Amino acid sequence: MNILRATVAAAAVTAGTVFGGSALATTNIQLLVNDLAAPNLAAPPATAAFASWCDNQCFPTTFQSARDPATGQPKGTIHVWGKNFQFGSGGSLCFSEFIVFTLEQGEIHVASGDRGTCGAPIDPALKPPLHQDKGALVVIAGGGDGHIVGGTRRYANWTGTFTDRVFVGFGAPTSGVGGIVYYDQLWFGISGK
């Protein structure tokens, strides 16, 4: 009888570890983008969160494919809208953005507050722009933070936060997508439950 109890206890511990670890891992999503910028041609999400955030002041910016940073395998796409662009001295830039992550198990909607996403130019001697043939003239390093404001299917009731960090190649306003030529190491971390 002791062998049976020990076997059942070991199975319970193993199941708890496996399923507990899986549950924990699914609440933290990591995504990576390394691509030339593509325009966001999608219709905005028909949600109260988007309407409130946009307040008839936003516009679509970019659409990108996102990958698993560890494996490089495709994980989904992102559609981005922006508003309240503010430029500071030395070329610094801050704005607000709304992002729809379309993943296999549903969408996650996130929004940064005003000045929730910011960046500033890097000396080209330290980090020269990639894709100069596509019009990139300067690299801006930055990132943003915000909150999960909605979702669909598996993520319909998620709450939590997101963070992103990136190097962006910018050019003239006529190059790329409104001046955004490429994303280099655009990393997203989404923590929700």
What would the pLDDT profile of 116-172 be if each residue is shown by its tens digit?
A: 999 999 999 999 999 999 999 999 999 999 999 999 999 999 999 999 999 999 999
Residue at 59 is within a domain: yes
Residue at 161 is within a domain: yes
Per-residue pLDDT at 35: 95
- Bridge partners (DSSP) listed for residue 56: none
Residue at 10 is within a domain: no
Residue at 19 is within a domain: no
Q: How would you label 122-131 residue by residue, b for 16+ Cβ within 10 Å and e otherwise? A: beeeebebbb
How far apart, in whole angstroms, are the C-alpha atoms of residue 108 and residue 15?
29
CATH number of 170's domain: 2.40.480
- Total tally of structural domains belonging to the chain: 1
Q: How would you label 138-156 residue by residue, b for 16+ Cβ within 10 Å and e otherwise? A: bbbbbbbbbbbbbbbeebe
Task: Say what the pTM is.
Answer: 0.85
The boundaries of the domain holding residue 81 are 27-192
Residue at 127 is within a domain: yes
What would the pLDDT profile of 10-61 be if each residue is shown by its tens digit?
A: 333 333 333 333 344 448 999 999 999 999 999 999 999 999 999 999 999 9
Residue at 2 is within a domain: no
Residue at 12 is within a domain: no
Residue at 125 is within a domain: yes
| Pairing status of strand 106-111 against strand 93-103 | antiparallel
